[in-house]
Chains A and B, each alone.
Chain A
Amino acid sequence: MRAVWTVFAKEFRENLRDRRTVLTALLLGPLFGPLFFSMMLQLSLDRSRVGADEIIQLQTINGVAAPNLMAFLQAQRIHIVPVAGDSTAARRLITTRAARLVLEVPPEYVASLEAGRPAALRLYADSSRTGDERYAARLSAVLDRYAQQIAVQRLTLRGVDPQLLAPVVVHRVDVSTPASRSLLVLGMMSFFIVLSMLTGGMYLAIDTTVGERERGTLEPLLATPAPRGQLVLGKMLATCAYMLLSLTLSTSALCLALGRIDLEQFGMSANLGPATAVGIIAIMAPLIPLLAALMTLIAAWTRSAREAQAWLGILQLVPSVPLVFASLLNLAPRLALMPVPSLSQHFLVTQLLRAEPLDKLWLATSAGSALLLGALLLVPVMRLYASERVLG
């Protein structure tokens, strides 16, 4: 088995000397990714926090016709800005982004209200602007309350119990815990980690196979007396080593970066200590040989490094396929799903983050299945290297 270590040491060292590759494989992916991810998370959390206590600017047309309504709105922290014009002006205000929301009080409003008929109000907003949606929603809720108030007054005046208007009342009981709430976002973590693992090994998988062929070093290598199986094994081990490095870096970076975000403030908590990081690495690591063998097989089979890059780019999407299926079919973690690579790792990492106890049998099934599949994939890789097809 000496050739395995010779090849491993040489590939590992050679790749380390390629500074640009090391930079992309080990810094950009595993470190930049988590940073970006946590920034996005922080941003989205910040945005969801605004609303309840923020003062909304509301442009009104003909607001003077409805002084009670204006007073009610102002009491609800809505700042009224009267503007002149008609419905065309209101539309223009929205499309030119001069206003987020415009409320138009039509001339017949007062007459309808006094006659007890439904009095129409027009609220202009652009629903394609995602950020404005929640302002419109809050204003609608305020307007609903105002209408409700008038309705109650009218019924009371006529001697009718206003409770008749509410035959059924729904109370929503949220049973999610802070840890489970944060999963909506943290569920992305396993996907991120798999991706950075693939990036970490991709360059080496290409370089040691099709890259070696293109540089003209494969033929002398295959002409040496070293058994070919050992040569491939050494190459794959080097790929595995970089994937493991990438896994360790990205997991630590994610745990650190997300740990800095004050998730508790948003009613969420995640289990992000060093023990969790070690646990995530242990759960994910059995995927490494499988993915390394897959990348090596594809790269050795292609005709050029460019082609290999294209194929391995597609491969980066493959680990997310089970995750997509699981979320579409709403699959719950169970033992029968543990042999599925990537999916089982996702479930287990998620459980770990939720601080739920992990089932030993599940862990063993997940790891065993990934390792077994990796070993099975070695067969076609070895066969390819034993044939002359490998020389292209």
Chain B
Amino acid sequence: MIEARDLHKRFGRVEALGGVSFLAPDARITGLLGPNGAGKSTTLRILYATLAADSGSACVDGDTVSVANTDVRRRVGVLPHNAGLYPALTARENIEYFARLCGLGKAAARQRTGELIELLDLQEIATRRAKGFSQGQKIRTALARALVHSPRNLILDEPTNGLDVPAVRKLRALLLRLRERGHCILFSSHVMQEVAMLCDEAVVITAGRVVACGTPEALRQRTNAASFEDAFVALTGDAGEDA
């Protein structure tokens, strides 16, 4: 369970978040939806503790998140926006490195990495250096990295960015499987169809504030829109594009 409570964040004079609150429950896929510059990444960064909020709090399973609280961070797997890999290491080494950093022993790290390579179809690139990976290969490796310590909660910042259709489908199947196992999944996106198809709950955020939340269907009905995409436009207005 991931919870944002009235998060405020400023970067100099720019107000990035002006009070963001929402709850992403266990066994649900929650989509954080908003136009570019709405504050999605800032919100997620606060939730996985690489940024600190000016006020408000971020909680995982009821415990407050902070840099010092390593115990909470052990329960979260993170795929940051535009996450990179170490180009001189192979996919396997990239994943294993993070397994070790998450506290797994040598043998456990190796075994878990092997499982994820299988799960995410990485066999082909497992022993190849990450330097020439395609976007899809990069994201799948980074996803394996996020899952390496079997976290209860998963935060994915635009995970489908740059993925082709088969890769998106695979990702979707994986997330659904994780949901069935009771994981809490929070992901951000600016692609409507994705959110509509994948998430149980959508949190619509624009200009640093939550403007609506609910199931995609409920949101569509509330705005009297023909599609979820129209609902999104109705909810966010034009505010996002130049923010």
Contact = CB atoms under 8 A, between A and B. Distances in A.
Interface in A1-49: 2-3, 6-7, 10, 13-14, 17-18
B101 A14 contact: no
A386 B67 contact: yes
A391 B142 CA distance: 18
Nearest to A217: B84
Contacts of A220: 78-80, 83, 98, 142, 145-146
Contacts of B100: 2-3, 6
Interface string A95-112: 000000000000000000
Contacts of A215: 84-87
B51 A223 contact: no
B103 interface: yes
Interface string A134-148: 000000000000000
A273 interface: no
A220 B48 CA distance: 10
Interface stretch (A56-64, A225-233, A311-319): A225-233
Contact of B82 (A216, A224, A225): A216
Contacts of A386: 67
Q: How large is the interface on A (under 10, 10 to 19, 20 to 34, 35 or more residues)?
A: 20 to 34
Interface in B64-110: 67, 70-71, 73-74, 76, 78-80, 82-89, 93, 97-98, 100-103
Interface in B217-240: none
Nearest to A223: B78
B49 to A, nearest CB: 7
A54 interface: no
A10 B50 contact: no
B140 to A, nearest CB: 14
Contacts, number: 78
B58 interface: no
A227 B69 CA distance: 9
A178 to B, nearest CB: 50
A17 to B, nearest CB: 4
Contact of B89 (A3, A10, A216): A10
Contact of B85 (A17, A18, A217, A223): A217
A4 to B, nearest CB: 11
B50 A388 contact: yes
Main secondary structure of the interface of A (DSSP, over half): helix
B87 A221 contact: no
Given A7-B101, A17-B88, A217 B50 contact: no
A231 to B, nearest CB: 8
A217 B83 contact: yes
B186 interface: no
Contacts of A3: 100-101
Given A219-B80, A223-B78, A224-B102, A388 B51 contact: yes
B88 A18 contact: yes
A216 B98 contact: no
Query: Which of A6, A18, A228 gathers most chain B CB within 10 Å?
Result: A6
B86 A14 contact: yes
B50 A219 contact: yes
A227 to B, nearest CB: 6
A224 B73 CA distance: 7
Nearest to A227: B70
A391 B71 CA distance: 22
Contact of B80 (A6, A17, A216, A388): A216
Contact of B101 (A6, A18, A219, A388): A6
B210 to A, nearest CB: 23
A222 interface: yes
B117 interface: no
B88 A225 contact: no
Query: Which of A17, A225, A227, A386 gathers most chain B CB within 10 Å?
Result: A225
Query: Which of B70, B80, B102 gathers most chain A CB within 10 Å?
Result: B80
A2 B146 CA distance: 20
A231 B76 CA distance: 18
A388 B70 contact: no
Query: Which of B45, B86, B129 gathers most chain A CB within 10 Å?
Result: B86
Interface in A214-269: 215-217, 219-228, 231
A233 B97 CA distance: 16
Contact of A219 (B52, B83, B89): B83
A228 B87 CA distance: 22
Contacts of B83: 216-217, 219-220
Contacts of B52: 388
A230 to B, nearest CB: 9
B110 to A, nearest CB: 13
A58 B78 CA distance: 83
Contacts of B51: 388, 391
Interface of A: 2-3, 6-7, 10, 13-14, 17-18, 215-217, 219-228, 231, 386, 388, 391
Interface of B: 45, 48-52, 67, 70-71, 73-74, 76, 78-80, 82-89, 93, 97-98, 100-103, 129, 142, 145-146, 149
7 contacts: A2-B100, A3-B101, A7-B101, A13-B89, A215-B85, A225-B102, A391-B51
In order of increasing CB-CB distance, the 3 nearest A-B pairs are A216-B84, A223-B78, A219-B80
